[in-house]
């Protein structure tokens, strides 16, 4: 049953009975006479990070003091400092049996915990100064054995080992929340358990094989990555070559187009030139024809004929001389042959 936090008591009830002793002890303490306090037990010190809890005649008092010097009735009142800061409890040599009957040992389990100040009186009343033995040491033994008995060695040693810390913390905190709400479990650290040597060797061999397998997988991944890289490189080179070829082909086509255009321009220039020459010759011949038409009169032709006859004078040797008729009729016939 959760009683809720109880407020710490204010002043010790013993003070009213020993006011004079308080004054004397304070005076002697100020005069550096600690032996008096040590012998008679009037003065005691509560260290930092703790609170003082008191019993009289075996009964827990409501008095809870803060760090510093305090007074109590010697021989009648018993005092204990209770830590209220974070502390680490180490639970060692925890045996447990797995589901398959294999005995294993946890060498050390560390439990980081804290007892909250407002719950100190209630916790002392229910569980005493050794509250951590009940809710940490014994609880760890119980929870570890519960966990081992429900799982195989493979689960405890390999597959679920990374979950044990959280499972232990959760299990302890759940029960503390119900039965000892002042105890706060901050974390649990579980070391690797000891297993039989023969089984350990098997696990080591399995781990070696697993490591080799992982190495081979990594090598295969590296090889695949290298092959993929080479493939991408080849594809890149091929694309590059294709782009270069395309550019060169376009360049050649542009050069040919340029040559073709240049040839067409030259042909047009040549055609224009030849047409110009032909037109010029045509004009020349036409003008000469027109001139000849005006020049070739019968008198001019007769004159040219006579010049030709004169220029064609030949000396004939032999007894036959060709006959030639030089009369007006022959000349007229010759002139008609020119269609003048």
Judge if 136 and 219 occupy the same domain. no
Point out the domain boundary residue: 195, 229, 252.
Answer: 195
pLDDT tens-place string over residues 143-184 = 999 999 999 998 998 899 999 999 999 999 999 999 999 999
Bridge-partner residues for 59, per DSSP? 56
62 lies in some domain: yes
Residue 169 CA to residue 173 CA, distance in Å, equals 6
Do 183 and 92 share a structural domain?
A: yes
Q: Each residue of 67-102: pLDDT tens digit?
A: 999 998 888 899 999 999 999 999 999 999 999 889
Domain extent, residue 318, equals: 297-336
257-261: list long-range contacts, CB under 8 Å, 24+ apart.
none
Instruction: Please check whether residue 51 lies inside any domain of the structure.
Output: yes
CATH assignment of the domain containing 164? 3.30.479.30
Q: Is residue 205 part of a domain?
A: no
Indicate if 115 and 168 belong to the same structural domain: yes
Q: Are 195 and 161 in contact (CB under 8 A)?
A: no
Q: Looking at 132, 163, 195, which one is the last position of a domain?
A: 195
The mean predicted confidence, pLDDT, of the chain is: 81
Angle between helices 328-336 and 298-311 (to 10 degrees): 110
The dihedrals phi and psi of 182, each to the nearest 5 degrees, come to -75, -15
Coil, strand or helix at 273: helix
Mark which of 38, 68, 83 sits at the end of a domain: 83
Using pLDDT thresholds of 50, 70 and 90, give the confidence band for residue 61: very high
Is residue 65 within a helix (H) or strand (E), and if so which, with residue range?
strand 59-65
Rounded Cα gap, residues 44 and 47, in angstroms: 10
> Is 116 found in the same domain as 71?
no
């Amino acid at each position: 049953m959760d009683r809720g936090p109880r407020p710490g008591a204010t002043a010790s009830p013993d003070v009213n009975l020993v006011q004079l002793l308080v004054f004397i002890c304070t005076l002697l303490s100020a005069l550096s006479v600690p032996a008096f306090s040590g012998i008679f037990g009037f003065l005691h010190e509560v260290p930092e990070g703790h609170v003082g809890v008191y019993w009289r005649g075996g009964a827990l008092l409501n008095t809870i003091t803060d760090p510093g010097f305090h007074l109590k009735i010697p021989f009648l009142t018993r005092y204990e400092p209770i830590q209220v800061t974070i502390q680490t409890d180490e639970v060692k040599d925890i045996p447990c049996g797995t589901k398959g009957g294999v005995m294993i040992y946890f060498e050390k389990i560390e439990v980081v915990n804290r007892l909250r100040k407002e719950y100190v009186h209630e916790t002392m009343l229910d569980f005493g100064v050794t509250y951590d033995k009940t809710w940490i040491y014994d609880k760890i033994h119980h929870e570890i054995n519960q966990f081992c008995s429900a799982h195989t060695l493979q689960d405890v040693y390999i597959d679920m080992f990374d979950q044990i810390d959280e499972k232990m913390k959760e299990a302890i905190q759940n029960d503390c929340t119900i039965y000892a709400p002042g105890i706060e479990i901050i974390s649990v650290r579980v070391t690797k358990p000891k297993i039989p040597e023969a089984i350990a060797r098997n696990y080591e061999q399995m781990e070696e094989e697993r490591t080799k397998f992982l190495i081979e997988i990594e090598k295969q991944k590296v090889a695949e990555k290298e092959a993929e890289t080479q493939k991408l490189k080849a594809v890149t080179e091929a694309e590059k070559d294709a782009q270069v070829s395309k550019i060169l082909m376009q360049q050649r086509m542009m050069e040919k187009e340029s040559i073709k255009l240049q040839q067409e321009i030259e042909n047009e220039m040549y055609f224009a030139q030849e047409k110009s020459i032909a037109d010029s010759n045509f004009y020349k011949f036409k003008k000469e024809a027109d001139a000849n038409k005006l020049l070739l009169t019968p008198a001019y032709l007769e004159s040219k004929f006579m010049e030709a006859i004169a220029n064609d004078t030949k000396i004939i040797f032999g007894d036959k001389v060709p006959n030639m008729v030089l009369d007006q009729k022959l000349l007229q016939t010759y002139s008609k042959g020119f269609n003048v």
